[in-house]
Amino acid sequence: MEIEYWWLLALPLFFALGWLAARIDIRQVVQESRALPRSYLSGLNFLLNEQPDKAIDAFVEAVRIDPQTVELHFALGSLFRRRGETDRAIRIHQLLVDREDISDEHRLQALGELGQDFLKAGLLDRAEAAFLRLRGTRANDVALRYLLEIYQQEKDWAKAIEVAEALPGHEGVMWHTEVANFHCELAATALANSRHDEARGHLDRAFEVNRRCVRASLLLGDLHAAQGRDEEALEAWQRIENQDPNYLALVAERVMDACGRLGRVAQGHQLLRAWLAGHASLDLLDELFHWELEREGPKAAYEMVREELRRNPTLLGLDKLLEAAALNAPAEQRADIDLIKQLIHGHTRRVARYRCNTCGFKARQFHWRCPACGGWETYPPRRTEEFDLTP
């Protein structure tokens, strides 16, 4: 195989070009590293050696010498907040807010980050003050959303309404559920303190925002009942069937009490049976079961639950059936039935919970607002077993 001799001449040239390129790259790296403040490199060294306090001090010195390292501080502050080290995040972002030689855009960004730090630390008053400073600026919409979260945590519903109505798109359906519930919270407080006119005003505004607000109908019935107008209370509660029948179980006991005061117990019982037939609900079944057990006895309660189980077989329904059967059975059989009931009851405790549609958080008690994700009306008053049985 013949060797091309000109290749032998080209090889040294290639090596020389590679050496020159490497020298140029190294020189550029050296120049860039010399341009960085020494405290910046010290901060990186402290961070790598897991000395975050000294690293922060070094980075603070770096930003004092070279304002171009502001982005580094934003990154570090966000990192500390995510790690739960809010005191360090606050220290970094407060430094940026107080600086006089950074741009207005960076100052607004630092103020927003500082507000988030305070919010994460539970310092709601200081978070509110930070976000209020952002109102009317380019960060206005972001500030409003955080202020809405703060006022909900503080249960300051009047301010929450004011902020929600200032949000973009508030006139559409985006915020109608939230604002209606804010008015309901104010109405519930007024009703509890017998301020009936004030409660009615908030309920009227809740209906203006959301005509299908189930909670407003429920509270309106409570208001009428508190004023001795049981007929109007029943009308308000029956309206829920057209709004969302899933919530009928919340007013079942109220309906029976009102019918009892009006002397129409049989009518109330018939109404609840009709609701159960049209909208299967374990909570409705539970209410009817206890009513039958107290008024008609174990046998009637057993027959009612058995009929419902044939249509909607559930463990919770079986638990009620066994309870009625134990009361109706001969003494020698009750021990066996009670044993079976205890076994079933152990399983029903896991499925007798409410579950948030948004985050999946489960609770034994019904909530209008999810304790985990903060969503309104994300807790349908149906037990988890009912969802598991839904096709």
Q: Within this chain, do residues 56 and 73 fall inside the same structural domain, yes or no?
A: yes
List the binding residues for Fe cation. Answer: 356, 359, 370, 373
Cite the annotated binding site by residue number: 356, 359, 370, 373
Does one domain contain both 181 and 149? no
What is the C-alpha separation between 246 and 240, in angstroms, rounded?
9
Residue of 170, 219, 217 whose CA lies nearest to 190: 219
The enclosing domain of 172 has a CATH number of 1.25.40.10
Task: Indicate the SS3 state at residue 355.
Answer: strand
Cα atoms in the 13 Å half-sphere on the side-chain side of 91: 14
Looking at 196, 212, 245, the residue that finishes a domain is: 245
**Residue 274: inside a domain:** no
What is the pLDDT at residue 382? 66
Residue of 12 and 203 predicted with greater confidence: 203
Q: Residue 376 pairs with which residues in a beta bridge?
A: 369
Tokens of 205: 């505004």
Same domain, 112 and 183: no
pLDDT of residue 25: 42
Which of 245, 272, 307 is at the close of a domain?
245
Q: What is the pTM of this model?
A: 0.74
- Please state, in angstroms and rounded to a whole number, the distance separating the CA atoms of residues 18 and 3: 24
| pLDDT exceeds 60 at position 161 | yes
Residue at 259 is within a domain:
no
The per-residue pLDDT for range 331-369, each reduced to its tens digit, is: 767 676 667 667 666 655 655 577 888 887 888 788 888
DSSP result, 213-269: -HHHHHHHHHHHHHTT-HHHHHHHHHTHHHH-GGGGGGGHHHHHHHHHHTT-HHHHH
Plot region of 281 (φ>0 → left; ψ -120 to 50 → alpha; else → beta)? beta
Q: Per-residue pLDDT tens for 29-43?
A: 334 444 455 655 566
Residue 325 forms part of a structural domain: no
Instruction: Tell me how crowded residue 223 is: count the other CB atoms within 10 A of its CB.
Output: 22
Q: For the segment 96-133, what is each residue's pLDDT rounded down to a tens digit?
A: 888 777 788 888 888 998 899 899 988 999 999 999 99
**Is 128 strand, coil or helix?**
helix
Q: What's the token pair of residue 88?
A: 């360090």
- Domain of 95, in residue numbers: 35-154
Total of domains in the chain:
3
In a shared domain, residues 39 and 144: yes
Q: Which residue has the higher pLDDT, 196 or 5?
A: 196
**Domain end marker among 245, 272, 298:** 245
Phi then psi dihedrals of residue 383, to 5 deg: -70, 155
Query: pLDDT by residue (tens digit) across 211-229?
Result: 999 999 999 999 999 999 9
